[in-house]
A and B are shown apart, each in its own frame.
Chain A
Amino acid sequence: MIMSTAATEPLGRMAAMLRIRRFEEQCIRLAQAGQFRGHYHIYIGQEATAVAACAALVAEDFVFTTWRNHGHMLARGAAPERMLAEILGKAGGYAGGKSGTLHLAVRDLGILSTSALVGGTLPLATGAALACKQRGSGITVCFFGDAALEEGALYEAMILASLWQVPILFVCENNTMPPGQRARGQSPSSRLPANRLADIPEALRVTSEEVDGADADALNECLARLAAQVRSSGGPRYVEVHSGRWPGNFLSWPDLPGGEWQIAWAFGQQSDHADLAAWLEQSDPLNRYLRKLVAAGTLDRAQAEAMDERARAEMAGAVRFALDSPYPPPDEAYQHVYAQGGQAR
C-alpha cells in the first residue's frame, strides 16, 4: 500500500520522519549485534527529503533510489518488517534475501530495482520516465547522492531527459561534508570542483533549484511544486537538497553517537555529545520540525511522546518479525536468474 498521502499534513509528516529515524536506529543496533553483515547506509538526517518527495507522488509513479534507500522505501509505504527481514537476508524480505540493504526494492510501490552503483540509477530512471511519457501517465523520481555528479552516467542521463523531455524529478541529496569537518580527516562523499552544483543541470536546460534539507516545510513546498511541474509540463526538473551530514556517518561504519534520538532534545535538553548537539541544532530536520510544531501549538510533548511510542513499537515489531523470519533455503539461490516463460533456451 502506498502511504504517502498520510504524510501531506504536518502531523503525518512528523510521524513519517520519526518512523524512519526509529527504523534506522534499529538497523544500526542489528548490525552492531552481528545480525547482518556487509556495508550498509543510514538515512538519519535526510528523512524530510524522502517524506516530502513521496508525499508528492501517486500510485502509478516510479521511484529510484540508491544504497541509502531505507528512508525512501519507508516514505513510499514499504513495510518495515519486510525491509528489515531483507536487510538480514531472510526469506520474509521483499527479495527473499537476494537483495539485502543495498538493493531494496518493491515493484508494487513503483520501486523497480535499486542499484548500488554511484550514478547507476540515473539512466534507468530516465528510461522509466520515458515509459511514463509513452504510456501517457505518471512521473519518475530519482534520488541520488552528490557523488553521482562525479559519474559520466549522470550527464548522459540528464542530456536524454532534457532532449526527450521526459517527466522526471532528479533529487540530488547532497550530504557531503563541509570543509571544516574534512580537515579532521573525514572524507567528503564528493570532491566536485564546481561553485554551484545546481548550475550543472541548468547548462543542459534542466531547471534546477536548491533547498535546505533540514527545513521540512521548505522541502515540502519545493518538492510538491516541482513534482507538479514535472507532471504538468512532462519535462525534467532538478533539485539539490543540502543536508548537514549526521555525525553517525562520519566513520566508515554507521554508529549512534550520543545514543538514540531523544524527544527531550526538542524540549531544551542537550545531547552531551558535542558533534551531535551541534548537528541537532542546525541540521536535524526531525529536531527542528518537532520544535517548530510545538512552538506553533500543533503538537504538545505528550502527543509527541505518544507518536514516538507508536513508531518505536512498530519498529520493535519489525525487528521481531525479521529475527523470527527463517533464512531462505539454499536452493533459492538458483531461482530468478531468468524470468520464466518466453525466454530463449
Chain B
Amino acid sequence: MKITFAEGLAKALYESLAADPRVLLIGSNFMGLNTAAKQLMNPLVSEFSNRIMAAPVSELGLAGAGIGAAMAGRRPVVDINTGSFIFQAFAQVVNEAANVHYMSGGQTSAPVTFYCLAGIRGGGGAQHSHRTQAMLGQVPGLQILTPGSADDAYYLMKWALLESRNPTVFLSHSLLFGETAELVPGAQMLPVGQARIRREGRDVSIIASSITVMRAMAAADELEHKHGISAEVVDLRTIAPLDENTVLQSVARTGRAVIADECHRRFGVAAEIAAILAEEGLALLKAPVRRVTVPDVPIPYSPTLEAELIVTKERIVTGVLRVMGR
C-alpha cells in the first residue's frame, strides 16, 4: 500500500487511538496550513471526539497537561503545531518531562509525545522555521524522532503513542507531507534507535535525517549519473537515541562522510556526528568530514535570502564533490 507522509501520520494516530484507550490527543491540527492534509484527520476527529481535547493557544499549559496526564497513566500526544512554538512550552518539556523519571529515581515515567511541524517550510521567516532537534538533543531524558519518509512517519508515531516509555519529541516537516512510501501490511518496523541505509554506495556516506533524507537521495542519484560517484545514504530516523554503529559501519565501507542536516552549523546534529567520527572513526576516514548545514543566521523571509541558507540537493552534491577532492 502506497501512503504519503501525511497519510502515515493520520493513520498512525487513528490506529493508536483505536488500539489503546489511554491514547489521548491534546490538540488535533497536526497538518498545519495544509488544507488537503487536514481532511485526513476527519475520520479520527469524528470517531474519537471524547479523547481529543480542544486546544487553546496555550502551549505551556498544553505541554504540561500532557506530561501530567502521562505521569498519571494516559498516553497523550500534544500538538505543538509549528515547531517554533515549542519554545513557549520549553519549561515543561525540558525541565519537567525530561527530568521526571530521573528525579523520581525511576518511580515515575512520562510517556508523552510532543508533535512539532518543524523546519524551514518556505516563507516562515525567523519565528516559524526552527529545527529544534539539536537544542533538544542537549536534554537527556527526551527521545527525538526525525522521520524522513512516509513509512517512518507512520511507524515512529505509532511507536511513540503505543510503546514508548519516555517523553518524545516527534519532529514532522510540512515539506515532507507529499513524500510517499510503500507500507507493507503486517511488516515489522525497523527498531527505534536503528538508522536505515536508504541506498548503498561505495565512495561516500551521506548522513541525513528528516527533510534532508530525500534531498540526500536526490543528490546520490545526481552523483551517480553526472559524476560517477557511488553514495550511500544513511537515514538516522531518530536523533535520540542516535545510532552511532550504523554511521560508523557505513563510513568504514566508504571512507568518507558528508552530513546533511537542517540545524544550524554550530552545535548541530551534524556537529555531533562529526565529533563521533573524529573520536571513533578517524582511522576509517580517507578525507575530512564535511557538514552541509544551515549557516548560523536566523531564517529570513525573502525567498532569495532563504534560498541562500537551506540544505539543498545541490549543496549536498557540492559537499560530496569536496570530500571526493573534485
Contact = CB atoms under 8 A, between A and B. Distances in A.
Nearest to A337: B297
A151 B57 contact: yes
Given A37-B123, A116-B125, A97 B56 contact: no
A199 interface: no
- Category for how many chain B residues contact A: 20 to 34
A99 B298 contact: no
Interface stretch (B106-114, B251-259, B302-310): B302-310
A151 B59 CA distance: 8
Interface string A84-120: 0000011000011111101100000000000111110
A150 interface: yes
A190 B56 contact: yes
Interface in A257-271: none
A252 interface: yes
A99 B125 contact: yes
A109 to B, nearest CB: 20
A51 to B, nearest CB: 27
Overall SS of chain A's interface: loop
Nearest to B91: A152
A100 B124 CA distance: 9
Interface string B238-253: 0000000000000000
Nearest to A187: B29
A333 B88 contact: no
Interface string A154-167: 00000000000000
Contacts of A95: 301
B193 interface: no
B301 A97 contact: yes
A86 to B, nearest CB: 8
Nearest to A145: B57
A97 B125 CA distance: 10
A333 B295 contact: yes
29 contacts: A36-B123, A37-B122, A38-B122, A38-B125, A39-B33, A89-B123, A89-B303, A89-B304, A89-B305, A97-B301, A97-B305, A98-B305, A99-B126, A102-B125, A103-B301, A117-B85, A117-B127, A150-B58, A151-B58, A151-B59, A190-B56, A191-B54, A191-B56, A252-B33, A252-B35, A329-B304, A330-B308, A333-B297, A337-B297
